[in-house]
Structure 1
Amino acid sequence: MRTFVIGDIHGGLLALEQVMKRAEVTEKDTLIFLGDYVDGWSQSPQVIDYLIDLQSKQNCICIRGNHDELLLEWLKNAKNNELWYQHGGEATVLAYEKLNKGQKQKHIKFLESLEDYHLDEQNRLFVHAGFTNLNGVGYEYFPTLFYWDRTLWETALSLDPNMKKDDLYYPKRFTLYKEIFIGHTPVSRIGETVPINKACVWNIDTGAAFKGPLTIMNVDTKEFWQSEPLNKLYSNERGRN
């Protein structure tokens, strides 16, 4: 039995199917999805259907991403959000025009069931974006930060690698958990396309929303598998700019 963590999918069902096959995932494995299942490529509804089906077959933990929350707001309230529309929402809105009311209600139920974070028995934290409370996720005053925060990753990037945990200035957030697995901020922003580890933080978002691949990683061994770049899998689509 293995535990895998999967980065931001952004409507790329073809990539998700590809990494599942390449990692030879079985129904005995535990899968932890870091959120942002939608927005970007054309198959957001199909990704959600895939995850719902997967949950019925094996242990799947699905974390809430900011794009998933934006979709939920739109499905429930038909609220126009121009900024969301410009950052991948357009493809999602077009895709959902093909779904009936029953299908949309099924997706609303799934989106409402998403977890803000997951903390396993080895004190490893899985969260879409981050957290800010110095005492940890259980003390966070603003739950939206779990899927919007970027300061955790920015701090990890800027941290002097020679600094020790008992240093007076060492960030307390990095002392609370054995490891922290995040998505949200693609590593392509620092010119990378593979999972990046800084301090105790692993960033698994390898830019699938743009021109990068989707990544699945074995949490224990850190071995990872990737899809083809999504702009090649969806060569007739624009994706996110």
Structure 2
Amino acid sequence: MVLRLNPRRQSRGFTLLLALGVVAIVTMAVMLSYSVVGREADTQADTRRQKQAFFAAEAGLAEGREAMRVMMSKNGGLDELTLTTALGGATPVTDIPGLAAANPPWFELLPGPGADKWNNYTLLKTGLGPTEIPAGVDFPEQNNVRYRVFVRDDVDNNPSGTVDGNGQLWILAVGEVTTPNGRPTRAMVQALVTNAEGDSSFMPGCSQSRCDSTHTSSSSPDESAVGTGSTTEISQYP
């Protein structure tokens, strides 16, 4: 006797397999879309943190330049500035990778109040006026941004690396955005500043007076190093 399959039962089995295949395809599409959206959100968040860290570093650099102007003006017109003495007996930085073994060494210019020496760059609703936040706007508070500022001597005639003899110093500002889970985002801004009397301009070529035929300034490095003038930014590297 020959056993014949029921055509209706075969149709039901095919429909079940087709439904399972459709569910699997839809599930894979949803998971792929979720992955793409997640990566896009992570990219945008990382870009925002990079900008926040850069702006914090810029703020620290501006504050460091003002601190150096005051420090140089209090030097009493001396030709040399001892960094360890001017910074209150500061020691070289040892807890920042890449700065610990530098020569000349880096020193903390603006140490923060905590043990980690970070300066918090917070922005809270309580510190803003009622007209600074539009009605109905959910203002995002900034409480995870901080910065540190360091200073070092440039390569001049003094080999010690802790005594400045030409009125020029390097300032390095580090901005950082912390996250609850994950690595922090950092940005560094570096500038060479000089202590000069009056206004100074620095640009490619010979922009100063008394230039010789080779388009270089004939003034000595120490002619504008003494005085209570302003600190002028020579060059900056993000």
TM-score using structure 2 length: 0.22
Q: Which structure shows the higher strand fraction? A: 2
Q: Which structure shows the higher helix fraction? A: 1
Which structure has more relative contact order (CA 8 Å, sep 6+)? It is 1
TM-score using structure 1 length: 0.22
